[in-house]
A and B are shown apart, each in its own frame.
Chain A
């Protein structure tokens, strides 16, 4: 078939399927910028079809057994790099509501069967759903490279559109999320199957009185608000507090303008999704 759209084909590359993390890192070191990592492949295949990215070597992580694991230990939930969105969505005992809601809002159930949490996070497009939820929950990413391993908070992982704060020879092996974080929720607004215009992930710990609001799709990387940037009076009514959050947004959110939405419309939607999320958590109509 040669008619029609460029989506029908992918430019040539060599497919590599390492069996271990060290083998994957070796391949990435060897081929440098000519190699790209693949997890579920939904993002990278779409980008290659659209000729937005290219690679001479595609390193598939799906052959590395340990990356497919979900583990609970020491109060953390650790999710390996090839764990699919579908698998997380189906975890009945998942207490992290923001994660559950964000994950089950992504694309559709069939895409979620292939796509991974780490892949969605590493895609680092402003409107992807995983990062705001992960950041509000205080998640961090495990990074492995030739020099060894390190952990970075997901809030510091995404530098800008498609830009991560890891080297080309490094991979993310998984993400860990503290399970004691409190109550959380994720609300997004998208028109039909379009990408989010704005999303809000809110996490509140009533005991320690900590509140974190993370706004997705409003800037190149998620915007984080907490007690130091938002005026939140414990004991005050939700409605009053929401108005306080809106005031902060007026002063500091500065939503971007793009083909999906103007800055003004995005501001309205941001206020709507944050209000909905806060009412979910604190009650109120």
Chain B
């Protein structure tokens, strides 16, 4: 057992964890960040994607101890970023979900993708989002929602 510190969605939190615990399980079970989802626990579905120090990782393939001293952001933690709020609204406007289980993962992933390249389109966009699976198959609505939100990432300041 050891105590680690994770800044989860802006709040600095301590958790006592075993070395073999997954970041995913610690976020959900110990830090109450239930906004991060999971389906496969083997790196395939991408539903457990979080931003670790700003970069997307699959938290089911990441050890909790690896996040010690780092910042973890899930979709709900993006709320302070106006661009990301507009992105989430775009998901709603385009009906880019059916059951909604994949939405948090698509929101953090597309936020990362748009922050890097607000011009992204076509095959490049599809490839960049290919690490997350939507079982309900709302891909076209997701692509439309993300494409539509590009303007906010071009126009709005990075953090508000």
Residue ranges of A at the interface with B (Cβ–Cβ < 8 Å)? 1, 4-5, 7-15, 41-42, 45-46, 49, 58, 60, 62, 107-111, 113-114, 193
Contacts and interface: CB of A to CB of B under 8 A. Distances in A.
Contacts of B66: 41, 60, 62
Contacts of B55: 113
Which DSSP category, helix, strand, loop or mixed, fits chain A's interface? mixed
A45 B42 CA distance: 9
7 A-B pairs with least C-beta separation: A110-B131, A108-B131, A7-B41, A15-B19, A10-B20, A7-B42, A110-B56
Given A9-B22, A193-B44, 20 more contacts: A1-B25, A1-B29, A4-B41, A8-B25, A8-B41, A9-B20, A9-B25, A10-B20, A12-B18, A41-B61, A41-B62, A41-B66, A45-B61, A62-B66, A107-B131, A110-B58, A110-B109, A111-B131, A113-B55, A114-B61
B19 A107 contact: no
A60 B67 CA distance: 13
A268 B58 CA distance: 35
A109 B124 CA distance: 11
Interface of B: 18-20, 22, 25, 29, 40-44, 46, 49, 55-58, 60-63, 65-66, 109, 127-128, 130-132
Contacts of B57: 110, 113-114
Contacts of A8: 22, 25, 41
Nearest to B60: A7
Contact of A13 (B19, B25, B46, B56): B19
B20 A11 contact: yes
A106 to B, nearest CB: 11
Nearest to A45: B61
B18 A42 contact: no
Nearest to A12: B20
Contacts, number: 74
A193 B56 CA distance: 20
B132 A110 contact: yes
> Interface centre among A10, A14, A114, by most B CB within 10 Å?
A114
Nearest to B19: A15
A15 B19 CA distance: 6
A109 B63 CA distance: 19
A114 B44 CA distance: 13
Contacts of A193: 44
Given A15-B65, A113-B55, A58 B19 contact: yes
> Interface centre among B20, B65, B66, by most A CB within 10 Å?
B20
B19 to A, nearest CB: 4
A42 B128 contact: no
Contacts of A42: 43, 61
A4 B41 CA distance: 10
Contacts of A113: 55-57
Contacts of A7: 40-42, 60
A149 to B, nearest CB: 28
Nearest to A42: B61
B28 to A, nearest CB: 8
Nearest to A62: B66
Nearest to A108: B131
Contacts of B131: 107-111
Contacts of B22: 8-10
A114 B41 contact: no
Contact of B41 (A5, A60, A108): A5
A39 to B, nearest CB: 12
Contacts of A109: 56, 127-128, 130-131
> Interface centre among B42, B43, B63, B132, by most A CB within 10 Å?
B43
A108 B20 contact: no
Given A1-B29, A12-B18, A45-B63, A111 B58 contact: yes
A284 B131 CA distance: 34
B38 to A, nearest CB: 8
